[in-house]
Structure 1
Amino acid sequence: MKNLIMGTAALALSAGLAWADTVRMGTEGAYPPYNFINDAGEVDGFERELGDELCKRAELTCEWVKNDWDSIIPNLTSGNYDTIIAGMSITAERDEVIDFTQDYYPPTVSSYVAASDGVDVTGGVVAAQATTIQAAHVAESGATLVEFATPEETIAAVRNGEADAVLADRDYLVPIVEESGGDLVFVGDVPLGSGIGIGLRESDTQLRGKFDAAITSMKEDGSLNELLKKWFGEDTTTY
């Protein structure tokens, strides 16, 4: 019996320390400039650069794991990776399932984009990526919500007439609108969310503390603001 108890304790300890050797950073890889896959097939973007710096400051060895958005929380809780760093807004609903660090991206607005001005975003058909704060907002707004697995599909829905507008993070939409040659336009803003943080399992309090300390240090020395401006422009919201 004693051996069984000791073995169970050792297993629990080893599970808790599994990330001490390598922390697996889960991301979508499909939401530029937050995160995307570059031409070399590697995770890139604001969150890749930020995550690597946070791991360096926290003295952690990190590797990156790509996962589809619609299963990104279940695969965290089941142990397929140790963090979510994927443009995930901190919400009370998500906080009931996982834990979050402090925000590393301050609260900003989401925006509606359509093919022309004058679109009724409260009574028409609005596309949003599934299980996002934007999808939840559309569902409560009176508009007809059409959900898609990827952000690219939400844009395509507007282009092909399947949806009147799309609602997403403004920073994601800005380059798309700019590169559309006038085919897409902004038609409204709405403030959503409480900032973006790193998601972790609720049991990983020590790991959360390490990342919180690293985020704080980047806020204090100004390097986080520099990264925000590098990836989102000089006019982006900063700390």
Structure 2
Amino acid sequence: MQITRSTDYGQSPVGPGGGAGYTYEPITKLVAAAADANPSPYAAQNNDFLIEVDASSQNVQVTLPAASGSKGQHKMIKRSDAAFAAANAVTVITADGSLIEGAASQSLNAQNSVIELKSDGTVWQVIGGSNSAAWGHVQPIANIAPGASPYTYTAQAAGSVVVTGGTVSNIQLKRGATTIAIAAVSPGVVPVSTGDQVITTYSVVPTMSFVPR
């Protein structure tokens, strides 16, 4: 992964024209390469403020420092792919497994999506951004293009897979090593978390959509 950091950070003792001091907020740019580990990991530094992520070529995982040692830290993470790759995920987790707004992880699923975070010493709180309903902005429904039956769709984010029409004989939800059957009705609505797989068997291709949470 290519990592570029601005060098200006910290408190300047003297502002422009000799006035009061002011704060520089550093920018860190991450550009993942196809040859990187999947997902390509980045451990956020204490002095990172804005982290811009380019996931055009690979999934990226940003790891926040432990909330317990980061009380008061303020970070923003923005997805800014050079060429938006909807199939690639940008995921935010924590180094110690502490929660981010009640969840183990958060994802940036849209171009120019942003999450703004602050640690209260126990968890990382989401205090702003635009990407999901939890942050005050709902992403649009995405069409899914089914392939040959049985077709497997892997969720890149939390939401629901909706299956309508066609001639569907079986719908299954797979999470890890566990697979369960879902009633093959129309419409079929299957709630999913990131990484879940929805396996649909049919003789006539149905219409499938993903509804972000």
Query: Normalization by structure 1: what TM-score?
Result: 0.26
Q: When you count strand as a share of all residues, which structure comes out higher?
A: 2
Higher relative contact order (CA 8 A, sep 6+): 1
Query: Normalization by structure 2: what TM-score?
Result: 0.29
Q: When you count helix as a share of all residues, which structure comes out higher?
A: 1
